Amino acid sequence: MKKWTRRAFITTGVITGGALVLGVAIRPGNRARKVKDMIAGEGETVLNIWLKLAADNSITVIVPHAEMGQGTHTTLPMMLADEMDADWKTVKMLEAPGDKQYANYALARGFIMGEKDFPSILLGTIDGVFLTATKQMNLQITGGSASVRFTGMYAMRVAGAAARAVLLKAAAEKWEVAEEELEVKDSYISHKESDRTAPFADFVAQAAELSQPAKPRLKNADEFKIMGTSPPRFDIPAKVDGTASFGIDASLPNMKYAAIKASPVFGARLVPLPDDAIAEMPGVQKIVNLDNAVAVIADGYWLAKNALNKLDIAFEKTDNDTIGSEDIYGQYLQDMDKALAEGNEEKDIKKGNAGDALETAKEVIEAEYRVPYLAHATMEPMNCTAVVNNDGCQLWVGSQNPLGFAASVAEALELDTENVVVHNQYLGGGFGRRAMPDVAVQAALIAREVDYPVKLIWSREEDTRQDHYREANISRFKAALGENGKITAWNNQFLFKHDPEEAPHIPYDIGNQFIHYANSETHVPWGWWRSVDSSMHGFFTESFMDEMAYKANKDPYEFRRAHLTNAPRYLKVLEMAAEKANWGAALPENWGRGIAIHKSFDTIVAQVAEIEIIDGNLKVHRVVCAADPGYAFHEDGFRAQMESGIIYGLTAALYGEITIENGAVKQSNFHDYKMVRMNEAPVIESYIIKSDNWPGGAGEPSTPGIAPAVANAVFNASGIRIRELPIKNHNLSARSMKLG
């Protein structure tokens, strides 16, 4: 392996064609030189791969993440600009090209290494290793609530501070004064004693000759000027006048449109259709047979869709043609029992001896919870525009993982990845779905058959039935209570484990814990779904915790508090939610209040839901949400994410259900896969606790807690315990005996 030396990764500037590229510290190799042609315009200076400075002193921050409404195109530039002491009014944003130079090395490092503070000398080496690793993994992912936590903290802030440092040094040399006497404010450097002030742009040429520090000093929170505020998001103006360009809006000369139908039973092969199946259909150009799907190309999408509907499409039989959701649950239970009996399951947490504690307990409280499959249902159906010619393949698509898309398409077309270019567009919702490259591969395979660009659009039915689903799951609990009303043992068995790692873990002070899981193979494709495993475990653990509270004859809030004495950070969040929700205050008849707390992606969120059951119908009136993300870099953006995650999770809690019937998904569109709408949306209040812990995520952590908060509120109002989602399947008019 090549050895990295300090000289190898601290490089100096290059001047080409009037524009100037400043050395890239923080990473080996002169990546600025490589990326200059991709991002720099006339007279612009690429300071490092994350920013460029124009002659008018304006700054453009290059963001390697997709914008899907989470605000990353604004928050990441804020982090860089603040460290640089830049004038926010002159800061612009450019999304990084889908190129390996922008692989998320910072993100990978964050995931693998956590927040360890590396010695300066190692930084280049470590980042070099991770850059290599991320390139090999083809990572340029937007997901895992990770943009701020990793790219922001490891790349943006460091890049901003490093740029500031070399500009200061250059100014000091040019003015022949001591660096310490200089001040930086709003993209200007000044020297008070000699009464001189000049813009950053004046020092760029000198700065280019200097090496950027690998580990510049970063600001403390009390020095932040831009971070922690809420400037208007860059992407919003284009989203109110119709000009924002989403994947579906890509438009190329001579472009035609394709509709597609893939096998409803996952994995079934298409019985190929003859070319003349579309004969005598005006405006319809071509039929394309793929392994498991058939596509029709026409002059317009409506023509393509109608032609597809007229075709007699058949798929080969498979072993999965008769499988239904109940069969899958049956298989799950078998596999869970078998894994337990044979002792070959995966152990997640083993603490104390839960087995012994349960054996000797006076009473063991047991419960089994279930959740169904869920589709993502992004507002913008999957789509991709592709052109394939001798130069390779170009794609216009909204992607959470452009490099991964390029790699998958390259593999399908047998091209080099370098010959596949992804032009990333705004994403009409991501939620994990747009990390999957399936639609891009289809579009490329279809476009390969013709000599014009093709825009492939999935119907909503296709989008619902060809998703990569949040899996259905079962979670079984056994627990016991001690004399003092505290839980003595907690045994939890479920299926599958993806991420986040902490999803099934509980913060509660319980000495004997055994958390374990089995695996069970199904033919239903799996995908990351907003908050991933936490989308289930929040419901499982916090509902069962509620059951234990009632069993102990304790108030559910006080019961949790009593188990959080060793977890002050959680306690603070829980207490804030309860206080703001006026926990304990009397409620009208048929109203209920429920509480839940869950940590995911390093952000702790507690929620209190206030509900009413009106003639058997559930109305969620109000949700109070308290969150500790460590620090919220864009406060309004963080609040917006809390609201968004709650509504997303509420839709799943109330209505979300994908059923498998005869091997295929039964639901098809918004009439049978319902969404929470304006008239059902609760009032949401969000409170942020800045605890100065390492920043947690924003996009996902509010989703897991809403289902248990609402389900616990239903119990509080009616005595009906919801052990299976969605709540719509429960009869809430049959009032059960209310406890307490």
Partner 1 sequence: MKISVNKVVHEVDVDPATPILWVVREQLGLNGTKFGCGIGQCGACTVQLDGNAVRSCLTPIQQAVDKEITTIEGIAPSESELHLIQQAWIDEQVPQCGYCQSGQLMSAHALLTTNPNPSDEDIDLAMSGNICRCGMYSRVRKGIKRAAVAMNNSATTKIMNDEEMD
The site for partner 1 (CB under 8 A) is made up of 68-71, 232-233, 235-246, 248-249, 251, 257, 300-303, 305, 377-381, 426-431, 457, 459-460, 636, 640, 643-648, 650-651, 669-671, 675-679, 681, 683-684
Tokens of 246: 């989403």
Neighbouring CB atoms inside 10 A of 482's CB total 15
Neighbouring CB atoms inside 10 A of 564's CB total 20
Query: Judged by CB, which is closer to partner 1: 350, or 460?
Result: 460
**In angstroms, what is the minimal distance from the CB of 669 to partner 1?**
5
Query: Judged by CB, which is closer to partner 1: 231, or 352?
Result: 231
Cα gap 459→383, rounded to integer Å: 9
- Positive or negative, the CA dihedral 252, 257, 259, 262 is negative
Q: Which of 94, 211, 106 is nearest to 155 (CA)?
A: 106
Q: How far is CA 529 from the centre of its chain?
A: 8
DSSP state of 1: -
**In angstroms, what is the minimal distance from the CB of 302 to partner 1?**
4
Q: Give the 3-state secondary structure of residue 443.
A: helix
Helices (H), 459-595: 460-465, 534-551, 556-562, 568-580
Query: Judged by CB, which is closer to partner 1: 137, or 244?
Result: 244
**In angstroms, what is the minimal distance from the CB of 658 to partner 1?**
16
Q: How far is CA 293 from the centre of its chain?
A: 29
Tokens of 53: 């400075």
Residue 565: C-alpha distances to residues 306, 551, 577 (Å)? 63, 20, 17
**In angstroms, what is the minimal distance from the CB of 427 to partner 1?**
6
Query: Judged by CB, which is closer to partner 1: 63, or 647?
Result: 647
Neighbouring CB atoms inside 10 A of 644's CB total 20
**In angstroms, what is the minimal distance from the CB of 720 to partner 1?**
26
**In angstroms, what is the minimal distance from the CB of 702 to partner 1?**
10
> Phi and psi at residue 15, in whole multiples of 5°?
-115, 125
Query: Judged by CB, which is closer to partner 1: 110, or 381?
Result: 381
Is 593 within 8 Å of 609 (Cβ atoms)?
Answer: yes
**In angstroms, what is the minimal distance from the CB of 700 to partner 1?**
13
**In angstroms, what is the minimal distance from the CB of 238 to partner 1?**
8
Query: Judged by CB, which is closer to partner 1: 156, or 647?
Result: 647
Tokens of 357: 């504690």
**In angstroms, what is the minimal distance from the CB of 598 to partner 1?**
18
Cα gap 639→649, rounded to integer Å: 15
Query: Judged by CB, which is closer to partner 1: 678, or 737?
Result: 678
Query: Judged by CB, which is closer to partner 1: 377, or 573?
Result: 377
Query: Judged by CB, which is closer to partner 1: 240, or 341?
Result: 240
- Positive or negative, the CA dihedral 328, 331, 336, 337 is positive
Strand extents, DSSP E, 193-320: 196-199, 256-262, 284-289, 293-298
Query: Judged by CB, which is closer to partner 1: 306, or 419?
Result: 306
**In angstroms, what is the minimal distance from the CB of 406 to partner 1?**
23
Core vs surface per residue 367-381: b (16+ CB within 10 A) or e = bebbbbbbbbbbebb
Cα gap 402→437, rounded to integer Å: 9
Is 702 within 8 Å of 639 (Cβ atoms)?
Answer: no
**In angstroms, what is the minimal distance from the CB of 207 to partner 1?**
36
Core vs surface per residue 177-187: b (16+ CB within 10 A) or e = eeeeebebeeb
Query: Judged by CB, which is closer to partner 1: 335, or 643?
Result: 643
